[in-house]
Amino acid sequence: MMKKILTAFLIMTLVIGTMLMPAVAETTTPTTISPPQYFGAYPYIGEHFTFTISAPDDMRAYIEAGTMPGYTDTQIDYKMGNGDWHYTSDWDTAGRSLKNTFRFSFIKDKTYIAHGRDSLIVLFPDDTASLQSLKDKGWDWNYFKTNPISFRARFVSSFDNGVTFVYSDWSNTFVLSDKVDYNPIELMKHAPTLTTAAVEKNSGGMPFLNIKIGRLPGEVQSLNSMTGESVWTEIWMRKLGDKEFKKINSSFFSNEYLLIGVMDYFDKTLANYDSESYEVKIRFSLDMRKLPFENNSNTIYSPYSNIISHNMPAWSEASAWATDELKKAEDKGLIPDILKGEDLTKPINREEFAELAVLLYEKTTSKASIPLTPNPFTDTNNPQILKAAKLEITFGTSSTTFTPAKLINREECSAMLFRTMNAITPDGDYNIDGIKDFPDQKDISEWAIVATKYMSKLGIIEGDSQGKFMPKATTTAQQASAYGMATREQAIIMSGRTFDAIK
């Protein structure tokens, strides 16, 4: 009997071993790794620097898959002025043994940007004498005006506990000098993306806001690396009944996963927060005094992210006649974040309509639109406006201004919706033959005639009881009464009708 059991055990072992062999064979050790995505050095005191580095996509994937640990050794190289780099071919076989090897740590699913501080004299002890003037400079930024210094870095990663090493290419060169030309305001014009934002209980039973942020914009990563991790992520929240969003906290830019305490905003005795009504958005900020050679004391901000909403009404006020069509538009996802929770009986402005039109385009075509670059406008950095400009749905009020807060009238609304339809179906039939003039046709601008007639033909924009289109105010009295102005609810309803007409 014992012999049979032993034989059966051996057979099972052979079968299981055979089944596992392909899985082992399929596991391969990476032989290459990409260079740091972004690398920067920020002066601390004397010869000390804060180094900031970003993991490339393949390293992120290796860490997430468990193929490599959440840290990597990194060789740091530098040169003074027009001098030579310190790199020699010996570095290619040194592994992590060199003094100038610095270890950066990442946190799986949370942060793939790391920073650390060290002394160049510690990293390059043989250069102690030549680095003395750098050490003596203290906090003086002016030193780098006449003594520029360049840095670069490369990964030295091991996937087998230090038996062998894989060397990446060098990062882009980072130069500390007042001659380096960059535009921090342009770099900051990139909004974050919220993936999730929900209030939950932590292990101690306290309410916390659980936030997951999408990939951090490269341009802002670059700005963060050159300022020694000085970019912040601001968290804004609005609860039901709040008129405005409130900034409730800030966190390091590098964190893609945040847990924010919200004990001051929610009842701690609740079993859960699934029925609570609130919405969340974020943006980046930077104190410009953190920039090298910058005397500006202003703080610059990115555009706000998308809004994640929980149990919040799509509007605060709406006309009774508009409610049914507004609900249909909401169900189709046609109400942009900028209008959620707002009084929809108010007139709509150019910024709001641009966001409405871009959302209509993206929902109808199932395509993501891209912003116009470079940004020609000095009065806005809203990416949705730049997307509308790229699609030629809307244009500036001048070559350099958009005037986002300017209210729009019914003929302007018609023209922008008409251009949105053209962007969606450029080969469509937009014939207006046989469409009669409106009783107030003389008040319609020449450039809006086709748009107003075509939108009326489809029943997207309707006139008053007398058939008048009411394109715009033409008298002082009409201006005073907001005659001819398009309201937010009218614009949303027109967007919904346009969606139905195309679909």
243 has a pLDDT exceeding 80: no
Task: Name the residue among 444, 428, 438 with its Cα closest to residue 468.
Answer: 438
475 has a pLDDT exceeding 50: no
- Extended beta strands in 66-148, E state: 71-80, 101-105, 113-119
What pLDDT, in 10s, does the model give residues 403-418? 999 999 888 888 999 9
189 has a pLDDT exceeding 90: no
Res 480: pLDDT: 44
Q: What is the 3-state secondary structure (H, E, C) of 411-438?
A: HHHHHHHHHHHHHHCCCCCCCCCCCCCC
**Residue 374, preceding peptide bond in cis (omega within 30° of 0):** yes
Question: At CA 316, angle to CA 311 and CA 317, rounded to 5?
Answer: 145
Question: What percent of the chain is modeled with pLDDT above 70?
Answer: 91
Res 167: pLDDT: 96
Structure token digits, residue 449: 């005639």
> Which are the contacts of 305, defined by CB distance < 8 A and separation ≥ 6?
191, 192, 193, 194, 281, 282, 283
Res 484: pLDDT: 58
Structure token digits, residue 420: 């949105």
Question: 408 and 351 in contact (C-beta within 8 Å)?
Answer: no
What distance in Å separates the CA atoms of residue 472 and residue 107, rounded to the nearest whole number? 57
pLDDT band for 126, please (50, 70, 90 cuts).
very high
Task: Name the residue among 436, 417, 422, 439 with its Cα closest to residue 493.
Answer: 417
Q: For the chain, what's the residue count?
A: 503
pLDDT: which is higher, 451 or 131 = 131
Query: Which amino acid, 101?
Result: T
Question: What percent of the chain is modeled with pLDDT above 90?
Answer: 63
Average pLDDT over residues 221-235: 93
**At 16, is the secondary structure helix, strand, or coil?**
helix
What distance in Å separates the CA atoms of residue 147 and residue 81, rounded to the nearest whole number? 6
**What mean pLDDT, rounded, does the chain reach?**
87
pTM, two decimal places: 0.68
Res 374: pLDDT: 93
What angle separates helix 350-365 from helix 383-390, to the nearest 10 degrees? 60
What distance in Å separates the CA atoms of residue 233 and residue 253, rounded to the nearest whole number? 5
Say which range, 47-56, 153-162, 383-392, 452-461, has the weakest mean pLDDT.
Answer: 452-461
Residues of each domain in the chain carrying CATH 2.60.40.10: 37-180, 186-310
- Cβ-based neighbour number of residue 181 at 10 Å: 5
pLDDT: which is higher, 314 or 359 = 359
Task: Name the residue among 366, 406, 364 with its Cα closest to residue 385.
Answer: 406
Task: Name the residue among 431, 442, 487 with its Cα closest to residue 468.
Answer: 442
What distance in Å separates the CA atoms of residue 154 and residue 37, rounded to the nearest whole number? 10
What distance in Å separates the CA atoms of residue 120 and residue 258, rounded to the nearest whole number? 33
Res 120: pLDDT: 95
pLDDT: which is higher, 214 or 337 = 214
pLDDT band for 28, please (50, 70, 90 cuts).
confident
In terms of CATH architecture, what is 186-310? Sandwich (2.60)
Res 431: pLDDT: 87
Res 260: pLDDT: 95
What distance in Å separates the CA atoms of residue 327 and residue 283, rounded to the nearest whole number? 29
What distance in Å separates the CA atoms of residue 104 and residue 75, rounded to the nearest whole number? 11
Superfamily (CATH) of domain 37-180: Immunoglobulins (2.60.40.10)
pLDDT band for 261, please (50, 70, 90 cuts).
very high
Say which range, 9-18, 217-226, 238-247, 370-379, has the weakest mean pLDDT.
Answer: 9-18
25 has a pLDDT exceeding 60: no
HSE, side-chain direction, 13 A CA sphere, residue 391: 32
Res 409: pLDDT: 87
What distance in Å separates the CA atoms of residue 118 and residue 104, rounded to the nearest whole number? 12
170 has a pLDDT exceeding 70: yes
Average pLDDT over residues 236-260: 92
Res 467: pLDDT: 67
What pLDDT, in 10s, does the model give residues 357-371? 999 999 999 998 999
What pLDDT, in 10s, does the model give residues 139-169? 788 899 999 999 999 999 998 888 899 999 9
pLDDT band for 402, please (50, 70, 90 cuts).
very high
- Cβ-based neighbour number of residue 22 at 10 Å: 8
What distance in Å separates the CA atoms of residue 262 and residue 278, rounded to the nearest whole number? 12
Eight-class DSSP state of 441 = G
Task: Name the residue among 150, 103, 97, 99 with its Cα closest to residue 127.
Answer: 99
DSSP-derived pairing of the beta strands 149-157 and 174-176: antiparallel
Res 478: pLDDT: 44
pLDDT: which is higher, 13 or 346 = 346
Task: Tell me the longest C-alpha to C-alpha distance in the chain.
Answer: 107
pLDDT: which is higher, 342 or 121 = 121
Return the H-helix or E-strand segment holding 236: strand 232-239
4 has a pLDDT exceeding 80: no
Average pLDDT over residues 417-441: 87
What pLDDT, in 10s, does the model give residues 46-74? 999 999 999 999 999 999 998 888 889 99
Average pLDDT over residues 323-329: 93
Average pLDDT over residues 487-497: 93
DSSP-derived pairing of the beta strands 315-317 and 342-343: parallel
What distance in Å separates the CA atoms of residue 381 and residue 284, rounded to the nearest whole number? 13
